[in-house]
Amino acid sequence: MADGDQLKYLSGFGNEFTSEDPRCPGALPQGQNNPQKCPYELYAEQLSGTAFTAPRHENKRSWLYRIRPSVIHLPFERVTSTRLVQKWSENPPNPNQMRWLPFKLPGDDEKVDFVDGLYTVCGAGHPSTRSGVAVHVFLCNTSMEDKCFYNSDGDFLIVPQEGTLNITTEFGKMKVAPNEICVIQLGMRFSVAVSGPTRGYILEVFDGHFQLPNLGPIGANGLANPRDFLTPVAWYEDRDVDSFKVVSKFQGHLFQAEQGHSPFDVVAWHGNYVPYKYNLANFMVINAVEFDHCDPSIFTVLTCPSARPGTAIADFVIFPPRWAVQEHTFRPPYYHRNCMSEFMGLIHGRYEAKEEGFLPGGASLHSTMTPHGPDTLCFEGASNAELQPARLADGTQAFMFESSLSLTVTTWGEETCHRLDHSYYQCWQTLKKHFNPARKNQ
């Protein structure tokens, strides 16, 4: 069977998809989801991402037609881990601006796979109440072998920064490279293969699922277009093994069960609850053409809304290459205090408002109501530059995880990782007073 990068993808965000492995034509039952006997004597299994009674336009579920049902495994046992944390009281809160140097990759003498390389940086809430978010990084160099992972707590939005992820899911395969993202939703089993040092970021949401933001006055077109989201086609392996490890993240803890076969044995599936990927280069930027600086919300790719209209549990926002054509205005991000929390990462290049110190593979966190904005170099340059149409962020891709929740940094994020830049605050200390009551700028 072809590798994941050779498989065709099904296109379109949130649609009802049908897919079957071409080796078994007609594997999808016709006319009913759960017949007395499925074609090829497969088992029917439903994966529900919402309550059965959720409104039709919100209801998420897929039917999987597989060689064995996923219930065939030995009991789960607790796996001790200090890397994944969802008990935020273990580390005292810190309102300071924080910036991390690039998170360290495993050394050549270590073998660390995707699951073993997961580290929690910050978060809020708890999965047992299905409310909150967590931000993780993954730092690995080895493929998962006879091992899969699924998250019982929420959705993973995965942002590769270095190295390509070859992801096998129950629905098929996806190849996700830097400047692409993927979303593996609640309960979906997957395995990650890598070739060499691999690093990236993860935004986890405990309540709801990611969706496209409403466009409002923008109209029908713009930002991330539904047709550019891709989900894999069905692919199965019928493989018996001595011990296949199934790792579950449940209420913030890891558990492991063993079974004697590969869980990637889904021959056909249909539904609207699927893993998917998106190329950030396809984002259609909306920009000002007169004056002032639009809020970063115009760069939202995906959102997980809260019960409060217009307020997100989490937004995924990017700052892609674009034209800047404003007149008589301050073009970079303005100085700001926000009721939201802002965690930023850099995939490649140099971020326009922090060209020094904010590095690919690193991050920053500006917590609720903590002031932030351009450093001195950026402010002085932008205030005195000739305003003419200009390209911004060519060769650069920064992003932001924004949340209405107040995020607490873990002990690993603040201390153990040894990547926190304690000099970050200094980038604003050289901002000068320019005020002169005898002179008014025109």
Separation of alpha carbons 285 and 277, rounded Å: 19
What is the sign, positive or negative, of the torsion defined by CA atoms of 252, 173, 55, 63? Answer: negative
Catalytic pick among 58, 77, 110, 336: 336
- Catalytic, 366? Answer yes
Check 170, 342, 352, 402 and give the catalytic one.
Answer: 342
For the four alpha carbons of 34, 35, 36 and 40, in that order, the dihedral sign comes to: negative
Could you give the strand order of the β-sheet that contains 17-20, starting from the edge strand earlier in sequence? Answer: 17-20, 266-271, 61-66, 43-48
Query: Does residue 209 have an active-site annotation?
Result: no
Extract the tokens encoding 213. Answer: 């933001």
Q: Examine the residue annotation and report whether 342 is marked as an active-site residue of this protein.
A: yes
Structure letter (DSSP) for residue 70: T
Q: Which of 73, 126, 261, 293 is catalytic?
A: 293
Q: Which residues contact 118 (CB under 8 A, 6 or more apart)?
A: 83, 84, 136, 137, 138, 202
- Number of other CB atoms surrounding residue 317 within 10 Å: 22
3-state SS record for 191-241: EEECCCCEEEEEEEECCCCCECCCCHHHCCCCECCHHHCEEECCCCCCCEE
Cα(72)–Cα(258) distance, rounded to whole angstroms?
Answer: 9
**Rounded Cα gap, residues 93 and 410, in angstroms:** 9
Farthest-apart Cα atoms in the chain, separation: 87
Q: Which one-letter amino acid corresponds to residue 150?
A: Y
| Residue 116: partners with Cβ closer than 8 Å, 6 or more residues away | 140
Residue 418 falls in the annotated catalytic set: no
> Which one of 209, 253, 270, 372 is the catalytic residue?
372
336 is catalytic: yes
Q: Which residues are catalytic?
A: 293, 336, 342, 366, 372
